[in-house]
Amino acid sequence: MSDIQTYNVAVVGATGAVGQKILETLETKNFPIKQIKLLSSSRSAGTKIKFKDDIIVVEEAKPESFEDIDIALFSAGGSVSKALAPEAVKRGVVVVDNTSAYRMDETVPLVVPEVNEADIKQHNGIIANPNCSTIQMVAALKPIQENFGLNRVIVSTYQAVSGAGAEAVEELKDQAQAFLNGEDLHSELLPVKNEAEHYPIAFNALPQIDVFQDNGYTFEEMKMINETKKILHTATLPVAATCVRLPFFTSHAESIYVEVEDETSVLDIQDILKRAPGITLKDNPEKQEYPTPLDAAGKSAVFVGRIRKDLDHSKGYHMWVVSDNLLKGAAWNSVQIAESLIKNGWL
């Protein structure tokens, strides 16, 4: 018998885009698993999935699925988390939830371990994983906040289709293929089953991710605004966001403008980001070096480049932040939270 403690882990939404990356991350990080249970809807129940050297049969997620589970990683949509996370908690499970269901609940910690790991300790059975676009932004903002203070943040995003799930990835491939086969591009709303209708994405740019709110912002934009304030513990920090979907598969990119409190310089900001946990600085304009979605794909870091001073505001800086939306933006961050629960004895 090994003396390393191991855990019974459930992955809810195991057949989805995020679920598949969670399995990959658990393997990569050699997470201490005793038994793993893979859960989905009834549609995928019976599917076989390879995990390490085992073939695991996917089961339909039900309240009873959580008997004997220690940790459950949820990424099956908000309604599934709302219905089943409390059932899991009732059975003594600690839930790491990847959906927006509990992120703004005051009793639920919202955590990026490099930024606010200690918040995990206050959990009541559920810890929320932030939105993918928020995670990479706060990872880059935290060291700046700590060293120079933050007065304002304005962000525009360039987001990959994989953020919208496995079906959206197929949709981009199909539309691109159809165009290359000679079909006309059109711009009408597409009726889509099980989903809100949306415009074609291939060879397009859509300034709408998730649904519109009464204030004219989309829910994705409001997630970035509200989650950032919660994670950075700065309820009054002005944050504005514009979220745009683009036709590439993996990694979100962000153009971020920050106004800092104290005088600083590009070199000082580069210097603290170089040493910040989870950040890789790639910022050499003279060598044409900066991060792109393609080179961030498959990697766990948050990449930062193009740091430059605003030409009209002495405390304004611009930067370009790129990260794999399914890894640090979802699966990797969730597994980091689970590791932190174990390492710190907070389970």
Residue 131 binds ligand NAP, judged by CB under 6 A: yes
In the complex, the smallest distance separating the C-beta of residue 41 from ligand NAP, rounded to whole angstroms, is 3
Q: Which of residues 238-267 bind ligand NAP (CB under 6 A)?
A: none
Q: Looking at beta carbons only, is 210 or 283 nearer to ligand 12T? A: 210
Binding segment (CB under 6 A) for ligand NAP, from list 71-79, 245-253, 257-265, 282-290: 71-79
Dist CA 321 CA 283 (whole Å): 11
Binding segment (CB under 6 A) for ligand NAP, from list 143-151, 163-171, 198-206, 296-304: 163-171
Q: Looking at beta carbons only, is 88 or 160 nearer to ligand 12T? A: 160
Q: With CB cut-offs between 5 and 8 Å by kind, which of ligand 12T, ligand NAP, none does residue 13 bind?
A: ligand NAP
Dist CA 238 CA 88 (whole Å): 37
Residue 86 binds ligand NAP, judged by CB under 6 A: no
Q: Is 313 a catalytic residue?
A: no
Dist CA 21 CA 250 (whole Å): 12
CA 72 to each of CA 3, 98, 112, 161, 316: distance values in angstroms, whole numbers, following the listed order: 23, 11, 18, 26, 42
Q: Is 186 a catalytic residue?
A: no
Q: Looking at beta carbons only, is 264 or 340 nearer to ligand NAP? A: 340
Residue 340 binds ligand NAP, judged by CB under 6 A: no
Q: In what order do the strands lie in the sheet with 94-97?
A: 59-60, 33-40, 7-12, 71-74, 94-97, 126-128
In the complex, the smallest distance separating the C-beta of residue 87 from ligand 12T, rounded to whole angstroms, is 21
Q: How long a stretch of residues is the chain?
A: 347
Q: Which of 7, 9, 10, 17 binds ligand NAP (CB under 6 A)?
A: 17
Residue nearest to ligand 12T (CB): 163
Binding segment (CB under 6 A) for ligand NAP, from list 119-127, 164-172, 179-187, 271-279: 164-172
Pairing of strands 316-323, 302-309: antiparallel
Residue 143 binds ligand NAP, judged by CB under 6 A: no
Q: In what order do the strands lie in the sheet with 150-159?
A: 239-245, 150-159, 252-260, 316-323, 302-309, 279-281
In 10 A of CB 64, how many CB atoms?
8
Residue 43 binds ligand NAP, judged by CB under 6 A: yes
- Taking the mean position of all CA atoms in its chain, how far away is CA 29? 18
Residue 330 binds ligand NAP, judged by CB under 6 A: yes
List strand residue ranges (DSSP E) for the chain, in order: 7-12, 33-40, 48-51, 54-57, 59-60, 71-74, 94-97, 126-128, 150-159, 239-245, 252-260, 279-281, 302-309, 316-323
Pick from 297, 278, 281, 286: nearest CA to 340: 278
Looking at residue 38, its amino acid is L
Residues near ligand 12T, by CB under 6 A:
99-100, 131-132, 159, 163-164, 209-210, 220, 223
Q: Looking at beta carbons only, is 24 or 167 nearer to ligand NAP? A: 167
Site residues (vs ligand NAP, CB under 6 A): 13-19, 40-41, 43-44, 61, 75-78, 80, 98-99, 129, 131-132, 163, 165-167, 329-330
Residue positions annotated with a catalytic role: 132, 252
